[in-house]
């Protein structure tokens, strides 16, 4: 178990996660950061209230965990000119935001899955807009022996094209969305059970990007994958965070799913996401 004496640590009422106070993330020394890293591996999700990190501080903190897949991306329904995007005008950014409301892990549709992420809240709606996480380690542990044996032998393809197409979304030419995740390469194949490279704990690797289990009919594959998500993402394996401006969170993408929750999109919601790149030897897709 991690030494939490450096910080004030309050475990969440779930199988994972903790609220961490007592230090400013932007000024951690090496000893403090090492203790925080251990807490991250233990709890998988760390919530840091009242940090108010600048964009540069957020990037610098995320970089301490490894190379970044990308430095900073706004997860926002607010345009650069300050106007709020209209929900029903076919905006690709809105379609991505709505897609993110399904349970998923980041970058499973890329050749190398992300290691983790640092997320910050800048502007939050009066109601809704929470972010939820689900513990796939505990979800794997909760499977009966027969189901555990079944999923341990299976893999699924992952694709952002697939997950967004279920919402009727095909990215438009000249869209405001950067197009990240939409690419011409073959979809990566990933096992349904991933062993965490640092803790050794097995976890389910499922979510909205997963489809097409080899050897199964499409309908059978979709049914099994949805059943796994539905059973996995239940208390006590879930936590939904009600954001306040200045909050920061750090999560382990190798063992958690996450999702955004709906809100009245006439209200602005501005978050920033720094994505920590996965290590190729352990987060690469299965060779096909």
Where residue 275 falls among pLDDT bands split at 50, 70, 90? very high
- 2-32 pLDDT per residue, tens: 555 789 999 999 999 999 999 999 999 999 9
Q: Report pLDDT for 161.
A: 87
Instruction: Render 129-149 in DSSP notation, one character per residue.
Output: --EEEEEHHHHHHHS-HHHHH
pLDDT at 139: 98
- Supply the pLDDT for residue 286: 86
Q: What are the CB-based long-range contacts (under 8 Å, 24+) for 145-154?
A: 151/192, 151/193, 151/204, 151/228, 152/192, 152/193, 154/191, 154/192, 154/213, 154/215
Q: What is the pLDDT of residue 180?
A: 64
Residues 46-68, mean pLDDT to the nearest whole number? 98
Give the CA-trace dihedral at 8, 11, 17, 21, to 10 degrees: -20
pLDDT at position 37, please? 98
271 conformational bin, left if phi > 0, alpha if psi -120 to 50, beta if neither: beta
The pLDDT of residue 94: 85
Taking only the tens place, the pLDDT of each residue in 32-47 is 999 999 999 999 999 9
Phi, psi torsion values for 68, nearest 5 degrees: -100, 140
Contact (Cβ atoms closer than 8 angstroms) between residue 191 and residue 204: no
pTM over 0.85: yes
**Mean pLDDT, range 206-222, rounded to an integer:** 97
Domains and CATH numbers, the chain: 8-278 (3.60.130.10)
Average pLDDT over residues 231-255: 98
Look at 156 and 78; give whichever has higher pLDDT. 156
Q: What is the pLDDT of residues 139-189, one digit of tens each?
A: 999 999 999 999 999 999 999 888 888 887 676 665 556 566 666 678 999
Residues 227 and 222: their CA atoms lie apart, in Å, by: 8
Measuring CA to CA, which residue among 276, 238, 207 is closest to residue 40? 276
Q: Is the pLDDT of residue 234 over 70?
A: yes
Cα 173 to chain centroid, rounded? 27
User: In the chain, how long is the greatest CA-to-CA distance?
Assistant: 55
Helix/strand/coil for 154: coil
Mean pLDDT of 252-261: 98
pLDDT, one tens digit per residue, over 83-113 is 988 777 678 888 888 889 999 999 999 999 9
DSSP per residue, 193-242: EEE-TTT--EEE--STTEE--TTS-HHHHHHHHHHHHHHHSSTTSEEEE-
The residue ranking higher by pLDDT, 195 or 286, is 195
Model confidence over 187-198: pLDDT tens digits?
Answer: 999 999 999 999
Phi-psi group of 224: left, alpha or beta (phi > 0 → left; psi -120 to 50 → alpha; rest → beta): alpha
Out of 55-64, 176-185, 221-230, 261-270, pick the least confident.
176-185
């Amino acid at each position: 178990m991690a030494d939490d004496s450096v910080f004030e640590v309050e475990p969440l009422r779930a199988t994972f996660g903790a609220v961490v106070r007592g230090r400013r993330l932007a000024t951690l020394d090496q000893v403090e950061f090492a203790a925080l890293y251990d807490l991250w591996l233990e709890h998988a999700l760390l919530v840091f209230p009242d940090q108010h990190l600048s964009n540069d501080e957020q990037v610098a903190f995320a970089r301490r965990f490894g190379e970044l897949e990308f430095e900073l991306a706004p997860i926002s329904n607010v345009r650069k000119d300050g106007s709020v995007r209209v929900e029903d005008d076919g905006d690709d950014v809105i379609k991505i935001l709505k897609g993110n409301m399904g349970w998923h892990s980041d970058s499973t549709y890329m050749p190398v899955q992300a290691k983790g992420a640092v997320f910050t809240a800048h502007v939050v709606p009066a109601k809704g807009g929470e972010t939820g996480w689900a513990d796939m380690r505990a979800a794997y542990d909760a499977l009966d022996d027969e189901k555990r044996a079944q999923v341990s032998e299976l893999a699924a393809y992952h694709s952002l094209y697939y997950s967004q197409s279920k919402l009727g979304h095909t990215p438009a030419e000249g869209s405001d969305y950067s197009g990240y995740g939409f690419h011409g390469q073959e979809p990566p194949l990933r096992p349904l059970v991933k062993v965490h490279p640092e803790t050794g704990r097995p976890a389910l690797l499922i979510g909205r990007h997963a489809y097409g289990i080899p050897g199964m009919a499409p309908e059978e594959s979709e049914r099994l994958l949805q059943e796994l998500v539905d059973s996995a993402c239940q208390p006590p394996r879930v936590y939904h965070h009600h954001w306040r401006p200045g909050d920061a969170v750090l999560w382990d993408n190798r063992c958690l799913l996450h999702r955004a929750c709906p809100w009245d999109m006439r209200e602005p919601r501005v978050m920033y996401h720094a994505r920590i790149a996965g290590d190729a030897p352990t987060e690469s897709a299965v060779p096909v």
